[in-house]
Amino acid sequence: MRSQLISALVLILSILNFSCKKAGNVPADLNGSIDFEDHSTAHPDREKFQNILNKYKKDGIPGLSILVYTPEKGMWIGTAGYSSIEDKIPMKLFNVFHSASVIKTYMSVATLKLAEEGKLKLSDKIDQYLPAEYSDKIANAHEATILNLLNHSSGIPDFLFQPSHEADYYNNFYATFSTGDYLKYIYHKKALFQVGEKFEYCNTNYMLLALVLDKVYGSHASLLTDRIFRPYGLFHSYYKNETGYPAPFGTVNTYVDLYGDGKLQNSSGWERNFARNNIGHDGMLFTTHDCFLFFKALFIDRKIINEQSLQTMLDFKPARDPINGYSFEGALGIERITGPKGLQRIYHVGASLGGANWLCYYPQKNAVIVINANFGGIIDSPIANMFLGYKGRGKTDGILEALEAVAF
């Protein structure tokens, strides 16, 4: 009788399985090479930059990679932390990060390229490119133009933050969603505002833009490959078509502080599945140096799109009210913060469950700063505040401000 009771207890405990947790980590690549000249060891500010990296790694960012370029001092690139904290694999320059929303800048440039080629007009209504089901069931889809998608003035609701979507996503981070599945979350939802009324950041805009580009070019993913990645030497940028996607060689493990209490868990599988599912607004991967090559070609060398297109791209409108002397503006797949001392940062930020990114161009300095990290910046957490926390948000100075203080 006693042994039967013990057996029953063991059986119950094994079914309940309290202690068996998932590790979540995926194999991380140890050795890779870089295919660019790196003179960072000769950079005059190398120690200051590395100290900043080390500080933020010590403060809790699991792994990060930073590039600072100024015309006077050239490029410095460095890393700190780990691409896998479970296996203590150091972050290296060849490591590949998730883009989160930074892809929107690439999508905007690709669209402007097609406009230059006469394949579309920014004033085209999007309903001429979208399946009728989407246009009929999504608010403002008959009125919005491609320009409204690009500069977030469509008023179309954001599928990503619909409570029903958030519930389904939290229920199964490994679920497969098609673009149609995502868009159903905003069917028959009220428009956020009238088309063109204001700037309001919305992920649906760039998902619909991807569908428009699919119609115009055949595949928006191929458009990015053909018009941006290959011509400008971005051989370590990956989006749908490239080998190994969504986990090409060098892809980092990602981590998220789900409860905002400073404890991390591995989110690599979630992040990779999210990349696989989503189009246009998220889902790219890249190295830090490739990000620099993109911004250099776009803003410093000004060779991806012509001057007129660049002016169109940078037609900034107020995005939200100024805070603490910082003003915020949005344009076509790009935003601008002007600080109290007049320093302008033209940028896109990325934040997902496994990615945190800053791609910044400083027009007054003709400089670029890129920061990529392998943690989920979208969750409000101490490390997210460190990473994203610029004064204008009412939070503490972040890593970007520390780098700017040294660079400029």
Partner 1 sequence: MKKLFILLGILCLFSRLSCIAQKQTEIPIGFEFYNHTIGLPFDNPNKKPFNLGLAITTSYPLLLGKYSKITLDGELGYFKHKELATGININTGASYTFTTGPGIYFTAGIPLGYVRTFNAYDLYSLNDNGEYELTKDKGRSSLFLGYSLQVGYDFRKKLNIPFSFYIKNEWWLQTNYSKYLPSLLQNTLRIGINIYPFKQK
Let me know: does 354 contact 360? Beta carbons within 8 Å.
no
Taking the complex as a whole, the smallest distance from the CB of residue 139 to partner 1 amounts, in Å, to 20
Q: Which is nearer to partner 1, 62 or 333 (by Cβ)?
A: 62
Taking the complex as a whole, the smallest distance from the CB of residue 257 to partner 1 amounts, in Å, to 9
Taking the complex as a whole, the smallest distance from the CB of residue 86 to partner 1 amounts, in Å, to 8
Taking the complex as a whole, the smallest distance from the CB of residue 353 to partner 1 amounts, in Å, to 10
Taking the complex as a whole, the smallest distance from the CB of residue 247 to partner 1 amounts, in Å, to 18
Let me know: does 98 contact 355? Beta carbons within 8 Å.
yes
Residue 274 CA to chain centroid, in angstroms?
Answer: 12
Taking the complex as a whole, the smallest distance from the CB of residue 81 to partner 1 amounts, in Å, to 9
Question: Which residue, chain included where needed, has tokens 């991806």?
Answer: 304
Dihedral of CA atoms 407, 396, 384, 158 in degrees, nearest 10, equals -100
Q: In the 8-state DSSP scheme, what is residue 85?
A: T
Number of Cβ atoms within 10 Å of the Cβ of 228: 22
Q: Which is nearer to partner 1, 85 or 314 (by Cβ)?
A: 85
Q: Report the distance separating Cα 322 and Cα 124, nearest Å.
A: 32
Structure tokens at 407: 């660079």
User: Looking at the DSSP assignment, which residues form a beta bridge with residue 80?
Assistant: 64
Taking the complex as a whole, the smallest distance from the CB of residue 398 to partner 1 amounts, in Å, to 18
DSSP SS3 for 26: coil
Q: Which is nearer to partner 1, 331 or 378 (by Cβ)?
A: 378
Q: Report the distance separating Cα 393 and Cα 405, nearest Å.
A: 18
State the Cα angle at 275 between 271 and 276, rounded to 5°: 115
Taking the complex as a whole, the smallest distance from the CB of residue 50 to partner 1 amounts, in Å, to 15
Q: Report the distance separating Cα 373 and Cα 357, nearest Å.
A: 6
Which sign does the torsion angle of CA 253, 257, 259, 263 carry?
positive
Q: Which is nearer to partner 1, 123 or 164 (by Cβ)?
A: 164
Nearest to 287 by CA among 32, 61, 30: 32
Q: Report the distance separating Cα 290 and Cα 295, nearest Å.
A: 9
Taking the complex as a whole, the smallest distance from the CB of residue 382 to partner 1 amounts, in Å, to 9
Q: Which is nearer to partner 1, 42 or 175 (by Cβ)?
A: 175
Q: Which residues are at the interface with partner 1 (CB under 8 A)?
A: 15-18, 21-24, 57-60, 62, 82, 85-86, 163-164, 166-168, 170-175, 255, 258-266, 270, 378-381
Q: Which is nearer to partner 1, 57 or 113 (by Cβ)?
A: 57
DSSP SS3 for 361: strand
Let me know: does 179 contact 279? Beta carbons within 8 Å.
yes
Let me know: does 384 contact 257? Beta carbons within 8 Å.
yes
